[in-house]
Structure 1
Amino acid sequence: MSNTSINTSNPVYASLVETLRDEIHAGRSQPNQLIGSEHEMVRRTGLSRVSVRRAIDQLVDEGLVERRPGKGVFVRDRHVATRLVEIVVPDMTREPWVRIVRSAQRSGADRGIQIQLHDAHQYGDLDVTLRVLERLPELAPSGAILGSICHPRFAELIVKLKGQAYPFVLIGESWREIEVPTVSADNRAGGYTVGQELVRRGHRRIGYIGPMVDPTARRRFEGLRDAVNDGGVAFDRALVGDLVLENPLVSWERAVDQAIRRMMDQPDRPTAILCCTDGAAADACRTLKRMGVAIPSDISVIGYDDEPICRYLDPPLASVRQPVEQMGQAAMEMLIGRMGNPRGAIEHCVLPVEFVSRASLADRLADAGGTPV
């Protein structure tokens, strides 16, 4: 890049966009040539880091440059064919999936990757989504990022795609002994942290709600169970509400309602429940309120994912936060590696989680004096 001075009239970054665009079109910056790092461009132009980043984002969108992680910003070779990648997610009405997809899309755009999105929830038909998965090698020959769907037929198709050496990355836990590339948050650690917190706050009857056939939901349960047992409290398996979902792509409300009612019909009710998602927790709260059970004085409820809904429920919902932007970026980077070597070593990326305490969680007290149970 030449040492051209930058006119900083509004918008501030427009002059940098124009300068770089002119240099590329004039041939002064050649395909695959290093333009520089964002830090170098800040120093060279006197613009802020935010302005430089916006300028580069615009040029990436125009297909003129690309970011290469750890190396800098390069002039893109526009003669290189765009690679088409399919992203299949269970439910784009859920904020974590929106953020995962956007992050993966940003990461892929820097590398000349075009995204096709299949939102399984939009169709609500498991067969439609399974047919898309079966046809992935022809629909998106470069590869795919797959959000895990909690149904055994999904696992069967994962095995088939692996056997075809089709490049894909699964977001979520691996299905049983199916060894495929995965990106996930630390689901066991999330469940374990909740279990530790509940035991610390005096809870002894602790329940869990989720589809136990799903490996991600199961890992969250295993963490909870182990923390309760490690805390010197025997976990009662009767307090597991296993959601059996014929079609996991439609509302879970009825299944959650039935699980909560079975759990609360026991003579020794739970004093706290961890739900596998925030949506399931919201459904659980509705049922509990209809039953006249007060949250959190009668029972504490904790969700998982820390979606925006958590802050607006009454009471606000305690939850476990996942690093969803990092998950999307890591999935795309892992997929790009597998595109070049589909039969390469299987990688697993596990990212840390964070417990977020809110008003749906309270201490379990034995009496008005405040002695923990």
Structure 2
Amino acid sequence: MGRQRPDTPTLEEVAARAGVGRGTVSRVINNAAGVKESTRRLVQQAIAELGYVPNLAARSLAGRRADAVALVMTEPDWRQFAEPFFSEIVRTLGDTLTETGLQLLLTLVRSDTERSRFLEYARGGRVDGVLVMSVHADDPLPDMLAEARLPTVLLGRRSGDESISYVDADNVGGARSAVTRLVEQGRRAIATITGPLDMYAAQCRLRGYQEALDLAGLPGSASLVAEGDFTEESGRHAMAELLSRHPEIDGVLAASDTTAAGALTALRAAGRRVPEDVAVIGFDDFPLARRTDPPLTTVRQPLEEIGRAMVRLLQEEMEEPSVAWRHVILRTELVVRESA
């Protein structure tokens, strides 16, 4: 067997192997016009024989594309990756990007070290744009990407003053419609289990809950609010805590379907019937909502539309980097099933 090369081949070595100039090799790599087909084949053969890998940073500086988009997941809690929301969004974005010819690269960025490393990677021309999901209020990554002039679109937003391009659902309106249904059913002691309140989506769903109570003239109380983290476990614990404080609870809005599933488990353990004693509404409309006992009334987020809108905005920023940031908020829909 021959001795393995101690380092990667250079552009000059490819040129020497093909018997052409360095500029000709560069034009072939960048798929530029003006190269004879026979010469192009010689260069491509030399690249294959030497195992040459083009310098992506140099191609980026030359105005070329990597034909890849990074999906950055910034959630520091590993449990969150088991939640349906993540898999549904990844699937939707992957399907949408397949139609564009862009490759989807999934990466986790959860610390200062990982942020710096990813920023260096992205600035090196390895991706044409960045999609960011699960952003918390104090996450500096979107601003770092903006300062680096990298096309970026967020799923959701860090606050009501978000300047980076984003696509979001109408979380306030969705929560308001859910609580309004509970009120219309005659529920008067309505509680809510929120998501993590350092996330703007969770804050908005809490605001919608409070607005609906105000509109109905029902008294609000901090003791009717329990903070969760979108997981089933947090829903179970929060529901048990709420029942201990307010045994009279007859309606619950949970900030996600998985949280609602946990609440159903706690209500069953406490001997409460759903919906006869306590009506429960979730948020998201994942397949899980149809499998709970009873099937879950929930607020549907238009995940397919969200994915398509994110890709569309990112492509627009990739084509016109100087355009203003864009903000898109999509409508939600209350899906009525047996739990409320």
Q: CA deviation at 1:214?
A: 1.2
* d(CA) in 2 for partners of 1:112, 1:337: 15
Q: Which residue of 1 aligns with 2:224?
A: 239
1:309-360 deviations in whole A, cap 9, x for unaligned? 1111111111111111111111001011112344531211111111111111
Work out the CA distance in 2 between the residues paired with 1:333 and 1:275: 31
> Which residue pairs with 1:299 in the alignment?
278
Which of 127, 135, 143 lines up with 1:141 in the alignment? 127
Q: How many residues get paired? A: 270
1:230 to partner: Cα distance? 0.9
Q: 1:152 Cα deviation (Å)?
A: 4.6
Q: List runs of 5+ in structure 1 lacking aligned partners.
A: 1-79, 362-373
The alignment yields a C-alpha RMSD, in angstroms, of: 2.8
Normalised by the length of structure 1, the TM-score is: 0.65
Contact residue 137 and residue 166 of structure 1 kept, 8 A:
no
Which segments of 5 or more consecutive residues in structure 2 lack a partner in the other structure? 1-63
Task: Determine which structure has more spread, i.e. the larger CA radius of gyration.
Answer: 2
| Map 1:42-53 → 2, pairs under 5 A | none
Indicate conservation of the 8 Å contact 1:82/1:112, yes or no.
no
Cα distance per residue 1:35-74 (max 9 Å; x no partner): xxxxxxxxxxxxxxxxxxxxxxxxxxxxxxxxxxxxxxxx
- Provide the rounded CA distance (Å) in 1 between the counterparts of 2:142 and 2:117: 9
Query: 1:85 touches 1:143 (CA, 8 Å); kept in 2?
Result: yes
Counting only pairs closer than 5 Å after superposition, residues 119-268 of structure 1 correspond to structure 2 as: 126-127=110-111, 131=114, 135-136=118-119, 138-139=121-122, 140-149=126-135, 151-153=136-138, 155-210=139-194, 211-243=196-228, 252-267=231-246
**C-alpha contact (below 8 Å) 1:185/1:353 kept by paired residues:** yes
Query: 2 CA distance for matches of 1:327 and 1:257?
Result: 29
- Shift of residue 113, structure 1, vs aligned partner: 1.4
User: Residues of 1 paired with 2:114 and 2:260: CA distance?
Assistant: 31
* Partners of 1:263 and 1:350 in 2: CA distance: 32
Q: Which residue of structure 1 aligns with residue 101 of structure 2?
A: 112
Shift of residue 98, structure 1, vs aligned partner: 3.6
Q: How far apart, CA to CA, are the structure 2 residues paired with 1:87 and 1:152?
A: 19
Which segment drifts farther, 105-114 or 216-225?
Answer: 105-114
- 1:180-214 alpha-carbon deviations (Å, 9 max, x no partner): 11111211110111121111111121111122221
Instruction: Give the CA deviation at 1:174.
Output: 3.4
Query: Match for residue 313 of structure 1?
Result: 292
Q: CA contact under 8 A between 1:194 and 1:355: conserved in structure 2?
A: yes
Structure 1 pair 143/205, CA: closer, same or farther in 2 (3 Å)? Answer: same
1:241–1:179: structure 2 CA closer, same or farther, 3 Å change rule?
same
Give the structure-2-normalised TM-score. Answer: 0.71
| Segments of 4+ moved more than 4 angstroms | 89-96, 125-128
Map of 2:256 onto structure 1: 277
